[in-house]
Amino acid sequence: MSVIVSCARGHNASTTLMVDGKIVFYLEEERITRRKYDGGPLMGLLKVFEYVDHIDHLVVCHTHKSGPELDWTGESVYEGIIRKMLRTTGGTFDHPLKPLKPKPYEYHECSNIHHQMHATCAFMNSGFDTAACLVVDGAGSFLQTDISKHETCFEFESIFKASHPFKIEPLYKHIGTSYPLGVKSLRGLLVDEEEKVDEVCDTILTEYPGITKCYESATRYAGFKTIDAGKLMGLSPYGQPNPDLPPFFRDGWGNRDVFIPDYPNGSYMNTQRYKIFMDDEAEMRRTGQFDNEWGFVGENYTQTQKDVAYQIQRESEQEMIKLIRKAHEMSGEKNICISGGFGLNCVANYKYWESFPDLNIYCEPISHDGGTSIGGAYHILNKLEPSRNLGERKSIYYGPQYDPQTYTQYFEEDFLEVTDTSYDDIAKLIRSGEIVTIFQGRSEGGPRALGNRSILFDPTIKDGKDIVNRVKKREFFRPFACSMKKEKVHDWFDLKGREASPHMMYAVECKPDVEEKIPSVIHVDGTCRIQTLGEDDNEHYYKLIDAFEKLSGVPILFNTSFNLGGDPLVETIEDAINTLLKSKIEYMYLPELQKLVKVPNDGE
């Protein structure tokens, strides 16, 4: 038995356990610790110990090296796990640590090829025999150059060419630094894990921020954390073209007059250079929504903030379209894989369909840094035995497996009412205007809920978005997604000639009159992030949607992630019950048991 454990450190920390070439589980650290974007992945390693008693290969992925001197299965890790558990549980620790006495494992440090791990994850799950892989994120591997020895430099955008039997080679890299050097074209800069100089990759070193860094800076301007760029995407349709705003990109690079690099901390908008930003700050101060340290801290977004969101979204899309064209031209490939943090921008992803009808574009659903642990596992697997084409990924229900019979231990609690139910009963409950959560099977990998850890609602209710946003304690402008029967999708949405959207990676336009039929899931720009599924994809969820269609004539359910604002997606049945107890949601459907759980409706 060959055991590969791959860990992604930093934010979006994750652990992938692969045994004999199969992913046993993929788990993000935050799902266990209940701390959004938690690092680690110590708790993920603890979960590994429940499945195997040895490790053959240990892979560590990040943006800078951790050093092999850390014994990832020794006392230091056990101590780290205990410390994290004590912090998470408030001072108690009753989890039995299974002694792990592995035979010596082979250590693989992949933090200096961060973008390659993103690309590998995407390509291995795309189903393509050959492809160009475009990776765009905030910061890839930290690198050093002769020109900028004392400055922080890291990957912004990369293009690779990949093929089966597995081979991947870099074609292009944009490396960023805050050192004032303009644009330098370099070769022989990058090294792979064997320290062999790569003379082929077209490497560009610039002082200009990349696409994602610019987007993150605009996100900060709107008062969000940089890692919450998805919120800015939701705000963008509320803006409009504003001639007073400066261009955010020039000649293919981020406009340094607007975005000031502050690496390794990121970058920020130069609000003192332009009158429109100074006037906007004065308005924020006047309304008490500005803090000298944090900037905007309010909830009433100014029109300038909305316009910034609108413009950065539109300009970023155009820059991505240029990069996709570059990837196609450099590689000669019609198959394009997109990954890295910007790959989660579902609004932009749909624009690629519009712009490139003749290209086959695959947007990796686990595009954030957590996905690099999957890439790391495949990276080592392919070194051991160059893989064949594994086919297109059918499912991202990657979480640990739970026995539904163990849920019954909670049914005797006084605060729970548990009754037998059916698909028809749940459909009627949703149709009556109730919010119903669904909990089943293995949790979804990545940030999208796909029917195993979801909150469900009737999409035909006019003010449904406002109702659920209040219950979830989210900002008013944030849109919701939907799940629907795959065979009916073309009656409702325009997929630009594509057949499906199984992982909610595209915000697609609705057909005429659809907004009137399902208003609670259509955003102000006439789009919806959709999940299409057949019965083979998720049997229980599909049958529930089918039952709802028989009642309503609508083969669609309003679907959002099973969590409250600021919390990670629920992982365990305990997380699910706790979330209900602190919210105004009363119902949880357990389809594997055909049980309906009701909790008191006295949440905050």
Which of 377, 395, 453, 341 shows the shortest CA–CA distance to 14? 377
Do 131 and 29 reside in the same domain of the chain?
no
Q: Compute CA 59 distance to the chain's CA centroid, rounded to the nearest angstrom.
A: 21
194 pLDDT exceeds 50? no
Is residue 380, in this structure, part of any structural domain at all? no
Question: Of 66, 90, 109, which residue is a domain's last?
Answer: 109
Instruction: Judge whether 206 and 182 are in contact, CB under 8 Å.
Output: yes
Q: Domain of 199: which CATH number? A: 3.30.420.40
Instruction: Judge whether 36 and 566 are in contact, CB under 8 Å.
Output: yes
Is residue 342, in this structure, part of any structural domain at all? yes
Radius of gyration of the chain (CA): 24
Is residue 388, in this structure, part of any structural domain at all? no
How much is the pTM?
0.92
Is residue 384, in this structure, part of any structural domain at all? no
Q: Domain of 517: which CATH number? A: 3.90.870.20
Which of 218, 325, 217, 204 shows the shortest CA–CA distance to 253? 204
For 513-534, the pLDDT digits (tens) are 999 999 999 999 999 999 999 9
Do 104 and 140 reside in the same domain of the chain?
no
Q: Which domain holds residue 282?
A: 211-315
Is residue 48, in this structure, part of any structural domain at all? yes
Do 292 and 187 reside in the same domain of the chain?
no
71 pLDDT exceeds 60? no
Do 291 and 358 reside in the same domain of the chain?
no
Q: For residue 583, give both structure tokens.
A: 């919210």
69 pLDDT exceeds 60? no
Q: For residue 132, give both structure tokens.
A: 């160009």
- pLDDT band with cut points at 50, 70 and 90 for residue 68: very low
Do 509 and 593 reside in the same domain of the chain?
yes
Do 144 and 272 reside in the same domain of the chain?
no
- pLDDT band with cut points at 50, 70 and 90 for residue 162: very high
Do 517 and 444 reside in the same domain of the chain?
yes
Is residue 256, in this structure, part of any structural domain at all? yes
402 pLDDT exceeds 60? yes
Is residue 393, in this structure, part of any structural domain at all? no
Q: Domain of 102: which CATH number? A: 3.30.420
Do 229 and 203 reside in the same domain of the chain?
no
DSSP count for the chain of H helices, then E strands: 16, 29
Do 234 and 124 reside in the same domain of the chain?
no
Question: Of 274, 299, 315, which residue is a domain's last?
Answer: 315
Is residue 394, in this structure, part of any structural domain at all? no
Do 244 and 350 reside in the same domain of the chain?
no
For 274-331, the pLDDT digits (tens) are 999 999 999 899 888 888 767 787 788 999 999 999 999 999 999 999 999 999 999 9
Distance, CA of 504 to CA of 102 (rounded, Å)? 40
- In order of 139, 205, 249, 261, 275, the CA distances from 176 in angstroms are 9, 6, 15, 9, 28
Return mean pLDDT, the chain: 89
Question: Of 268, 300, 315, which residue is a domain's last?
Answer: 315
Do 37 and 161 reside in the same domain of the chain?
no
Do 181 and 147 reside in the same domain of the chain?
yes
Q: How many domains does the chain have?
A: 4
